[in-house]
């Protein structure tokens, strides 16, 4: 899952979450931490990837409690 910002004219950028196949991302090994066994955090690089509309969403609705899951689960789990 990725997060990116979609620019929009005359307003703040729209934060979006996206799903892509793992093979379309390159993992950059940046986690070299002593004393933190069994943990990890690496960077990724994604270039020239098309993400279909069904594999992305505007996270502002989720933050405000109006995401698509609300239709299934109601106001809370």
Number of domains in the chain: 1
28: left (phi over 0), alpha (psi -120 to 50) or beta: beta
pLDDT at 15: 94
Strand, coil or helix: 73: helix
Side-chain half-sphere of 20: how many Cα atoms within 13 Å? 19
* CA–CA separation, 68 and 60 (whole Å): 12
Domain range for 28 is 2-73
Q: pLDDT value at position 77? A: 56
Residues 17-73: tens digit of each pLDDT = 999 999 999 999 888 878 877 788 889 999 999 999 999 999 988 887 777 777 777
Reply yes or no on whether the pLDDT at 11 is more than 90: yes
Cβ neighbours of residue 29 closer than 8 Å, sequence gap 6 or more = 42
């Amino acid at each position: 899952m990725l997060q990116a910002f979609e620019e929009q004219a005359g307003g703040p950028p729209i934060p979006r979450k996206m799903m892509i196949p793992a093979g379309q991302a390159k993992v950059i090994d940046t986690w070299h931490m002593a004393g933190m066994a069994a943990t990890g955090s690496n960077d990724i690089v994604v270039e020239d990837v098309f993400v279909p509309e069904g594999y992305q969403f505007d996270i502002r609705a989720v933050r405000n409690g109006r995401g698509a899951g609300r239709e299934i689960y109601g106001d809370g789990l």
